[in-house]
Homo-oligomer: A and B are copies of this chain.
Amino acid sequence: VSGSEGPPASVRVRAAGGDYPVLVDPGILQDLPRLLEDHAPAHRYAVISDERVAGLYGRGVVEACRDRGMEADLFPFPEGEASKNRSEWARLTDRMLAAGLGRDSVVVAVGGGVTGDLAGFVAATYLRGVPVVQVPTSLVAMIDSSVGGKTGVDAAAGKNLVGAFHAPRVVVADPETIGTLARTERAQGLAEAVKHGAILDADYLDRLVADAAELMEADVAATHHAVVRSVELKADVVSRDEREGGLRQILNFGHTLGHAMEAASGYAVGHGTAVARGMVLEAELGERLGVTAGGTRSRLSEALEPFGLGGTLEADIPLDEALGYLVADKKTRGGRPRFVLLERVGAVTGDGGWSREVEPALVEAVLAEGLGQA
């Protein structure tokens, strides 16, 4: 896909601290040092990657920066969600302090969702905040987490409970990096793409289904298209509501039940898998309430099928544990969980706010059925 014929290479996001572009282009990683100088000039750069991605891309980025005469250092951390906590955040911070990085430094987060969230939170709090550049190398990070400025780490009580909004200076996404991901990892990211289609763009959902085989094989053109369209859709939402006071809540479709099931499984179920199941069940909830068009649940289920996300969860999840996590959800207000409901595929209901409470008995019935415990 050439630049002139393919999707636009740059999507603009509005943020309180300043607008920023999301640049999506195959091969753009080669150009990262120049992009850093243009969009985030700094005395020194701290490149943060997990150890696996450090070997694939992080070290190369540091060397390319040095070749250009820029001061850059690599700060690797152990791979995996287990690193997304306050201890690893403190360790990275202390290593940067020991290296003497001052306020005129920039953090460059090269990696997947964990890296973007963790390195973003390091940047948000280092010397009360230094700029961050997001360089997502996983599909979930490109499609979802690198855009919108959410950063943070997990706590014992749950995921993403500690963090900050810290918009990046620029997001640089190279669809060619997706080839280094496992197939199941790609599916986790595509669940969020399906969500974007489900809440905002039925045509996009159809296109994802049509391209499913190519997307699962990391075809660059198909991936490029999906990343750009998802980023456009998400950018529009977070530009209108950066802090999730209103409209941004719609991005939580599938996440209220999804998070509860994911947590109750002890995180044995992947985030994308849980959100996929959550979308199907929240469509069911909407249909039972009479606000979601009949057939929406089955259409979503079918759309998720080619990504291996259409069926029931394999893990054994106790209903009362899932219900317990539901009440502890951080989107809870006044102690009651809230749901984003579809009007139909491609549109959410917006009357009376973007999310709503639902009668607990109905939530329990749908969740029980979804967990095969009805």
Contact = CB atoms under 8 A, between A and B. Distances in A.
Nearest to A103: B330
A164 B124 contact: yes
Given A43-B334, A97-B157, A128 B163 contact: yes
Q: Copies of this chain, how many?
A: 2
A162 B102 contact: no
Residue from A16, A17, A103, A331 having most chain B Cβ neighbours under 10 A: A103
Interface residues of A, number: 40
Interface stretch (A2-10, A58-66, A86-94, A221-229): A86-94
A328 interface: yes
Contacts of A93: 155, 161-162
Interface in A104-158: 104, 124-129, 150-152, 155-158
Contacts of A243: 129
A39 interface: no
A332 interface: yes
A98 interface: yes
Nearest to A124: B164
A360 interface: no
Contacts of A150: 128
A331 B103 contact: yes
B330 A102 contact: yes
Given A125-B162, A128-B165, A333 B104 contact: yes
Contacts of A157: 94, 97-98
A327 to B, nearest CB: 8
26 contacts: A43-B334, A86-B90, A90-B162, A93-B162, A94-B155, A94-B156, A97-B155, A97-B157, A97-B158, A97-B161, A98-B157, A100-B335, A102-B330, A102-B331, A102-B332, A102-B335, A103-B331, A124-B164, A125-B152, A125-B163, A127-B162, A128-B152, A128-B163, A128-B164, A128-B165, A129-B165
